[in-house]
Structure 1
Amino acid sequence: MNEINLKPIGIVHSPFREPSGVPKDSTDGMDYTGTVEIFPEYKDGLKDLEGFSHIILIFYFHKSEYSHLTVKPFLDSYLRGVFATRSPHRPNFLGLSVVKLIRIDNNILHIRGIDMIEGTPVLDIKPYIPEFESNEGIKIGWLEGKI
């Protein structure tokens, strides 16, 4: 299979400078705000986004230095397959967060619920649509009873 080359569409500006101390997920980060600076060539892609209260950010864990196929998640003491966790130490270092969109100023998205560090490259943005994201009969595997 061919390699995939991705180009960031923007960059995160965050109160967090290093991975330590960053909230484990965007719900833990609701007390923290930050911005996403969209690069000028992608600004037109923001049209109509301001009507959504929440957005999905797909980003690159640029400070992750290693990946493992098994990891010990923060909610457990057992090794789990990385694809059954939200660990940043993944084969392709991709992350996903649902954040609250406060407002858009030109090419700057003001967000709440930040769980990324300063300088995180943003690869894509999608509107969060509960009717599309929610399914009946969801099972959460090893996390059952832990959250």
Structure 2
Amino acid sequence: MTEIHPIGLIRSPFKELSGMPIQPAGAAGVRGTVEISEEYQAGLKDLDGFSHLILLYRFHGSQGFSLEVVPFMDTVPRGLFATRAPKRPNSIGLSIVELDRIENGVLHIRNVDILDGTPLLDIKPYVPEFDSHPQARAGWLETPGKTVAERRSDGRFK
């Protein structure tokens, strides 16, 4: 198995886990940057044609995990893999952000819900034809009253 190494660093205004948005939908307009390590900058060629990016990163602010958690969007314990809780066996996070521009190996992004200093593992272009599924079901999140825009991290997954 190949080892995974960060390719860059995500910068955001969120210095602490508590109080930050829990999904990009709750971080509308929040700006950040992604500093790509010099050795990977050639891979940014042609990325500026995409409006949105999928960022894969390491939840560096979380330690350990439990297979049952009470997610931010609920008060009922749920199976870990039916949530987006950050304390996971492999600590991998995913966010879809909007790309403003690329300058000298730095991605300027919006709708950032990521802790400052987070190690970036990979970037993939968001392609609506591949990634959008309007008919998708959202399981327990379909319960009325579950709106992500107002929810904030309360530190339960430190």
TM range (shorter): over 0.9
CA distance in 2, matches of 1:65, 1:127: 29
Q: Secondary structure at the match of 2:39?
A: helix
Q: Structure 2: which 5+ residue stretches go unaligned?
A: 148-158
Q: TM-score w.r.t. structure 1 length?
A: 0.94
Relative to structure 1, the CA distance from residue 109 to residue 66 in structure 2 (aligned partners, 3 Å threshold; closer, same or farther) is same
CA distance in 2, matches of 1:50, 1:11: 18
Relative to structure 1, the CA distance from residue 13 to residue 53 in structure 2 (aligned partners, 3 Å threshold; closer, same or farther) is same
How many residue pairs end up in the alignment? Answer: 145
CA RMSD of aligned residues (A): 1.2
CA distance in 1, matches of 2:134, 2:23: 23
Deviation at 1:69, TM superposition (A): 0.7
Deviation at 1:14, TM superposition (A): 1.1
Q: Find out whether 1:144 has 2:137 as its counterpart.
A: no
CA distance in 2, matches of 1:105, 1:50: 10
CA distance in 2, matches of 1:54, 1:136: 17
CA distance in 2, matches of 1:107, 1:50: 11
State which of 106, 125, 131 in structure 1 corresponds to 2:129. Answer: 131
Q: Structure 1: which 5+ residue stretches go unaligned?
A: none
State which of 100, 104, 117 in structure 1 corresponds to 2:102. Answer: 104
CA distance in 1, matches of 2:134, 2:19: 34
Matched residue, 2:12: 14
CA distance in 2, matches of 1:22, 1:75: 14
CA distance in 1, matches of 2:133, 2:29: 28
Relative to structure 1, the CA distance from residue 136 to residue 15 in structure 2 (aligned partners, 3 Å threshold; closer, same or farther) is closer
State which of 55, 61, 78 in structure 1 corresponds to 2:76. Answer: 78
CA distance in 2, matches of 1:134, 1:55: 13
Deviation at 1:135, TM superposition (A): 2.8
CA distance in 1, matches of 2:72, 2:138: 15
Deviation at 1:136, TM superposition (A): 5.4
CA distance in 2, matches of 1:46, 1:37: 11
Q: Secondary structure at the match of 2:100?
A: strand
Q: TM-score w.r.t. structure 2 length?
A: 0.87
Q: Percent identity?
A: 53
Matched residue, 1:37: 35
State which drifts further: 61-70 or 45-54. 61-70
The one-letter amino acid of 2:80's match is V
CA distance in 1, matches of 2:28, 2:133: 24
State which of 56, 65, 68 in structure 2 corresponds to 1:58. Answer: 56
